[in-house]
Amino acid sequence: MFPHRHLLGIEGLSPADITTLLDLAETYATANRGSTAPEPVLKGLTQINMFFEASTRTQASFELAGKRLGADVMNMAMQASSLSKGETLIDTALTLNAMHPDLIVVRHPQSGAVNLLASKVNCAVLNAGDGRHEHPTQALLDALTIRRRKGRLHRLTVAICGDIAHSRVARSNMILLGLMENRVRLVGPKTLMPSGLDQMVAETTDDMREGLKDADVVMMLRLQRERMDGGFIPSEREYYHRFGLDAEKLAYARPDAIVMHPGPMNRGVEIDGLLADDINHSVIQEQVEMGVAVRMAAMDLLARTLREARDA
């Protein structure tokens, strides 16, 4: 049904895998709004959250997702761990592995670190964001939000705007939206466009009017300064003027366009604060809500694979 041991990226998933996961997440979204608790499908399993990089919503939502499904959840404070004493990622992984966890959720500042870790442990690993590489559960929660709001997840025009070069959110979304046969446009200053785009199907422009034309979905990104070494933009004021989304620029898109942002948001830099709160367009809170449902679904599916492997 979901033939994967880990969830390391959108790369490697099929359209059928994505649909399976989103359909299951939809049932959890319904359960989360109601008063009846879902089946504790993770009961007896141990989930360890290892966040080597700051996170608010992703970590909270993985923790809540695990607890709602009955897992024993442990958050490791990675800043305080042996890593700061010089232990390598591999040694940390092997130490944890010896404690027999079932699910490990990892966020790491280096691209590829989560894949490396997954190759050293026996349990299921979920990537909660690695460098500028992938952030699969973010793309899946975005997809679920789009599907709920637009009634479909194909043949939509999606404009992803801002700091594309440093964004694992953009990368995972580009792959997912492409797989589901949508039209993806990347909009941002040339200095913030990734190199080697040719392998990915996307149009690029540094003009918001052109980029947002007829868009069904406008996805805004934060300027990820922690991954920039040097000045990529002249000033925040200038950036907001050209690329910041406000009502005026949103008017280039379709009248029923939805506005998305993975958070954390910098109001007045990439997005106007009023627009971010405008429930006629903004679905930012629904993205957060879907985050819990998607992570419940992802861990449920991986736990099934885990149990099948152990029973075999």
Summarize as ranges the residues that interact with ligand NCD (CB under 6 A): 57-58, 129, 135, 138, 168-169, 222, 224, 262-263
Q: Cβ 129 to ligand NCD, closest distance in Å? A: 5
Please check if 237 is assigned to a binding site. Answer: no
Please check if 244 is assigned to a binding site. Answer: no
DSSP-derived 3-state class of residue 76: strand
Burial 49-58 (b: 16+ CB within 10 A, else e): bbbbbebebb
Identity of the residue, 22 or 128, whose beta carbon is nearer to ligand NCD in the bound complex:
128
Q: Cβ 43 to ligand NCD, closest distance in Å? A: 27
Q: Cβ 224 to ligand NCD, closest distance in Å? A: 6
- How many Å apart are CA 235 and CA 227, to the nearest integer? 17
Please check if 166 is assigned to a binding site. Answer: no
- How many Å apart are CA 287 and CA 296, to the nearest integer? 14
Please check if 310 is assigned to a binding site. Answer: no
Identity of the residue, 56 or 82, whose beta carbon is nearer to ligand NCD in the bound complex:
56
Q: What are the backbone angles phi and psi of residue 277, rounded to the nearest 5°?
A: -95, 0
Closest CB to ligand NCD: residue number:
222
Q: Cβ 44 to ligand NCD, closest distance in Å? A: 29
* Residues with a known catalytic role: 57-58, 85, 107, 135
Identity of the residue, 101 or 162, whose beta carbon is nearer to ligand NCD in the bound complex:
162
Please check if 57 is assigned to a binding site. Answer: yes
Q: Cβ 122 to ligand NCD, closest distance in Å? A: 27
Please check if 107 is assigned to a binding site. Answer: yes
Are 224 and 163 within 8 A, CB to CB?
yes
**The two structure tokens encoding residue 12:** 């490697």
- How many Å apart are CA 291 and CA 202, to the nearest integer? 25
Identity of the residue, 243 or 252, whose beta carbon is nearer to ligand NCD in the bound complex:
243
What residue ranges in the chain does DSSP mark as E strands? Answer: 46-51, 72-76, 103-108, 124-130, 157-161, 183-187, 203-205, 217-220, 258-260
Q: Is the dihedral of CA 82, 89, 306, 10 positive or negative?
A: positive
Please check if 263 is assigned to a binding site. Answer: yes
Half-sphere exposure of 252 (CA within 13 A, CB side): 16
Identity of the residue, 57 or 120, whose beta carbon is nearer to ligand NCD in the bound complex:
57
As a three-state string, the secondary structure of 145-206 is HHHHHHCCCCCCEEEEECCCCCCHHHHHHHHHHHHCCCEEEEECCHHHCCCCHHHCCCEEEC
Residue stretches of the annotated binding site for carbamoyl phosphate: 57-58, 107, 135, 138, 263-264
Residue stretches of the annotated binding site: 57-58, 85, 107, 135, 138, 168, 222, 263-264
Residue stretches of the annotated binding site for L-aspartate: 85, 168, 222
